[in-house]
Structure 1
Amino acid sequence: SDDDDISCWNTAGITNMDRAFWSYSYGGLKLFNDPLECWNVGQVTSMNLMFFNKKKFNQPIGSWDVSQVKDMEDMFSDSESFNQPLDSWDVSQVENMRLMFYYADVFNQSIGSWNVSQVTDMYNMFKSAYVFNQSIGSWNVSQVTDMRQMIYNALSFNQPLDTWDVSKVKTMSRMFRDSPSFNQCLSTWAEKTSDTVNTFGMF
């Protein structure tokens, strides 16, 4: 029920939190905003769709130990209110960040220090993250193969990305489409990318 207090649940043994609040996504329960800071997620390996469609959720979870997580796909997609610091997260094991901040309307926190060196998929990662404009130019994206629509319709984003190693990227289709603020030089990418990389509608 709406009165259930889950803030102090013992979650220490849980390894999968995919769709953890899925039942709250429909039937008028999109207003979920319970504090979860004390949850122990140290054994969790997947957080796919964890906060999907949580229209009101905006609780601090920056202290979470996410060092074992490999999958963060759709984690904050359609989370219209979420804007909490995540800079201290250890995401060094994460391989999948596709759609992670898709339509995260107000998210604009510093995540430039993240170690994303294991990530292979950033498809739609910041698509329609309207206000996001943080430096991510120091990210090690050398394992990423999919950057399709990564910054599509990210209306505010305008950060340098010229130092990125995009040598393994196979598709950049619509990567910066409908992102009117973006005005950065990417000439260095030409010598790093494969001759067969898909750049259809990139801008």
Structure 2
Amino acid sequence: MDRMFDGATAFDQDLCHFGDNFNQYKIVYNMFVGSGCANKSDPTSETGPWCAVTNCLYRFTINTELRDAIKEYLGQDCPSDLNCQARSNYGGAIGEWDVSSVDDFSRLFVDDSDDPIDGAATFNEPLNWDTGSATMMLYMFKDAAAFNQPLSTFDTSKVNNMFGMFSGAAAFNRDLTAFDTSEVEDVSVLLC
């Protein structure tokens, strides 16, 4: 399996399920050289040859560090550049990041004049995030004009504020019936 994915620059998939049945004596060095995967050279006990992205996920805990990472990701044009540094830093594409400990998702993809995130207006990638700890989603996609991805996997059961969540998100047209809004106190300007 030496250089198995060499030159497969678009390849950036999770192969962790193969790792459990993997014979550690097989030749896997440089298996992902030239690919889109984060671990391009030698396997280690921490990442293994299969799971560089999944086992090394950066766990975000607060809004500011997640927002800074989003700024970095969009600023490096990571949606179209599979080898950008932010993908390596945080465990792959933005939609796969570990945000399970974050409670405040406010102003993450904002493109307004107060505190814009460059690239937020054109951002349109899937977000398969665990939002089970979320309590705030205030202005989450404010003026993110191109965003139109399904959010049916978002856990909103603890969210109490969705004020302006999609305000100015002109392209957004997705089913939100799976959103649990039983704790929400403020949905003002949710879709305006």
Which range, TM-score by smaller chain?
0.5 to 0.7
Amino acid in structure 2 at the alignment position of 1:197: E
Runs of 4+ residues deviating >6 angstroms: 77-80
Distance 1:69 1:162, change over 3 A: closer
Larger Rg, first or second structure (1 or 2): 2
Matched with 1:75 is: 68
Q: Is the Cα–Cα contact under 8 Å of residues 87 and 113 in structure 1 kept in the other structure? A: no
CA deviation vs aligned residue, 1:63-92 (integer Å, no higher than 9, x gap): xx884764406526877843244344447x
* In 1, Cα distance between equivalents of 2:184 and 2:177: 17
Q: Is the Cα–Cα contact under 8 Å of residues 158 and 183 in structure 2 kept in the other structure? A: no
Amino acid in structure 1 at the alignment position of 2:97: W
* In 1, Cα distance between equivalents of 2:167 and 2:104: 18
Calculate the TM-score normalised by the size of structure 1. 0.51
Q: Is the Cα–Cα contact under 8 Å of residues 89 and 114 in structure 1 kept in the other structure? A: no
Amino acid in structure 1 at the alignment position of 2:77: N
1:142 lines up with 2:136 in the alignment: no
* In 1, Cα distance between equivalents of 2:150 and 2:143: 17
Give 1:164 deviation, angstroms.
1.2
Give 1:144 deviation, angstroms.
0.7
Of 122, 142, 146, 1:131 maps to: 122
Matched with 2:103 is: 120
Query: Of Structure 1 and Structure 2, which has the larger fraction of its residues in helix?
Result: 2
Q: Is the Cα–Cα contact under 8 Å of residues 148 and 173 in structure 1 kept in the other structure? A: yes
Give 1:122 deviation, angstroms.
1.0
Structure 1 alignment gaps of length 5 or more: 1-61, 92-108
Matched with 1:41 is: none
Q: Is the Cα–Cα contact under 8 Å of residues 143 and 169 in structure 2 kept in the other structure? A: yes
Q: Is the Cα–Cα contact under 8 Å of residues 159 and 184 in structure 2 kept in the other structure? A: no
CA deviation vs aligned residue, 1:102-132 (integer Å, no higher than 9, x gap): xxxxxxx931111111011111000111111
* In 1, Cα distance between equivalents of 2:59 and 2:186: 32
Matched with 1:194 is: 182
Amino acid in structure 1 at the alignment position of 2:110: K
CA deviation vs aligned residue, 1:21-44 (integer Å, no higher than 9, x gap): xxxxxxxxxxxxxxxxxxxxxxxx
Q: Is the Cα–Cα contact under 8 Å of residues 132 and 158 in structure 2 kept in the other structure? A: yes
Q: Is the Cα–Cα contact under 8 Å of residues 110 and 135 in structure 1 kept in the other structure? A: no
Amino acid in structure 2 at the alignment position of 1:83: D
1:111 lines up with 2:104 in the alignment: no
Matched with 2:167 is: 177
Structure 2 alignment gaps of length 5 or more: 1-52, 79-83, 112-119
Amino acid in structure 2 at the alignment position of 1:199: V
* In 2, Cα distance between equivalents of 1:168 and 1:114: 20
Distance 1:140 1:77, change over 3 A: closer
Equivalent pairs counted in the alignment come to: 120
Distance 1:124 1:140, change over 3 A: same
Please tell me the root mean square deviation across aligned C-alpha atoms, in Å.
2.8
